[in-house]
Amino acid sequence: MAMNSFSHETRARFMSHSITIQKLARLFLFFLLCFAVRPADVKPGSVKGRWPIKTSLPEGTDVTQTGTLVALSDLLALPPAADSMTEQFETVRYPKTAGANYAEGQIVRTRGYLRLVAGENDGDYHIQISETPDTFDNSLVVEVPKDDPVFIANAPDLIPVAKSVRAWVITSLKLTRDPLGLTIPMRNPPYVEVTGQLFFDAAHEADTKGGKYRGKDINGKQLPSKTVWEIHPITRIAFAPVPK
In the chain, domain spans:
1-35, 39-239
Classify residue 77 as exposed, middle or buried by CB count within 10 Å of its CB (0-12, 13-18, 19+).
exposed
Residues 112/129, Cβ–Cβ less than 8 Å: yes
Among residues 232, 231, 244, 235, the alpha carbon closest in space to that of 75 is found at 231
Mean pLDDT by 10 residues, the chain (244 residues): 53 55 53 52 92 96 95 93 87 91 96 96 96 89 97 95 98 95 94 98 70 72 85 98 93
User: What is the predicted pLDDT for the residue at 22?
Assistant: 62
CA 22 → CA 18, 19, 29, 33, 128, distances in Å?
6, 5, 11, 16, 35
Predicted model pTM = 0.82
User: What is residue 158's three-state secondary structure?
Assistant: helix
pLDDT one-digit tens code per residue, 132-174: 999 887 899 999 999 999 999 999 999 999 999 999 999 999 9
User: What is the predicted pLDDT for the residue at 29?
Assistant: 44
